């Protein structure tokens, strides 16, 4: 399920609050906020972050060499 970042203001007034929620769609987020008696200011889907972590035994030079050789093999 995607994660959405939202900003909303309480219907009774007050400061804008921000948060994140994991729901199926933007419409579900809007429905959730309305049930919480919040007025949505903005709702957007967060981008997925991919992290690649190499161990300390692999140097940047080794990664570059591997990538070049792998590209040559594919071609």
HEC string for the chain: CCEEEEEEEECCCCCCEEEEEECCCHHHHHHHHHHCCEEEEEEEECCCCCCCCCCCCCCHHHHHHHHHHHHHHHC
Which CATH fold topology does 1-46 show?
Ubiquitin-like (UB roll) (3.10.20)
pLDDT in tens, 15-25: 999 999 999 99
Total length of the chain: 75
Domain definitions of the chain by residue range: 1-46
The CA distance from 50 to 30, in Å, is 27
Residue 28: pLDDT band by 50, 70, 90 thresholds?
very high
Mean pLDDT in residue range 23-47? 93
């Amino acid at each position: 399920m995607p994660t959405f970042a939202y900003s909303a203001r309480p219907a009774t007034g007050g400061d804008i609050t921000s948060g994140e929620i994991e729901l199926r769609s933007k419409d579900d987020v809007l429905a959730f906020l309305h049930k919480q008696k919040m007025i949505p200011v903005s709702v957007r889907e967060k981008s997925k972050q991919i992290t690649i972590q190499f161990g300390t035994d692999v140097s940047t030079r080794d990664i570059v060499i591997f990538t070049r050789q792998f590209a040559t093999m594919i071609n």
